[in-house]
Amino acid sequence: MSPYEIRIHPEWLFFLVTGMFYFCFYLVALSFSLSLSFMVVGIPLVTRVLRTTAAFIQFERTQTKIYTDITTDPYDKKVITDASVWAQAKLELTDRRNWSAVFWLMRKFVIGLVSLVSAVLLYVAPLAFLLAPLLYRYIDMNVIFMQVDTFGKSLFIMAVGALLAAINFKLSESLAKAIGGYTRSMIRQLNC
């Protein structure tokens, strides 16, 4: 990558989308199935919801490899098929790794929100600041506590935009690796 090439990181927004999915899925599925567990119907539902963690973690491994080129260890999920349904349910419900995986996957939503803010600050703000001399006459621009209403102020904001764009080159790669490293940390923690 050349020093003048801007690389947009789609994994930042992908983190938000998948994090929102995991958060909503586990929040709704676990609350529904746990609320039905007093009728015994909910216990198999909880176990089926907890079994989805292995598939979702495998999906995360694949996406991390595609977007950030970070290789992660395989997730070893032990599945016992010869036990009765209730014995499997007991194993699934008492396995600490299942609940830990749900927590790690749901926490991706918060990291996705942080990555969305980072994407706006690193990509949209410098572009808007660079266009300040053209836009200040047509839209009401306020940057922090300064109203941009003169050409001199718009040039200052344009210089700040150029500085933010220069910082973007250095910072975006390290943020993408840090966000991609989340999956690696998650799998290491779950395999312990």
CB 64 within 8 A of CB 183: yes
DSSP string, 1-24: --TT-----HHHHHHHHHHHHHHH
CA 84 – CA 157 distance, rounded (Å): 67
Q: Three-class SS of residue 101?
A: helix
CA 136 – CA 148 distance, rounded (Å): 6
| Per-chain mean pLDDT for the chain | 82
Break the chain into its structural domains and give their ranges.
10-191
CB 119 within 8 A of CB 13: yes
pLDDT value for 3: 47
pLDDT value for 31: 92
* pTM check: above 0.85: no
| pLDDT tens column, 16-34 | 889 899 999 999 999 998 8
| pLDDT tens column, 69-98 | 777 777 776 666 666 777 877 888 888 888
Q: Three-class SS of residue 87?
A: helix
pLDDT value for 103: 93
CA 57 – CA 104 distance, rounded (Å): 10
47: part of which helix (H) or strand (E)? helix 42-68
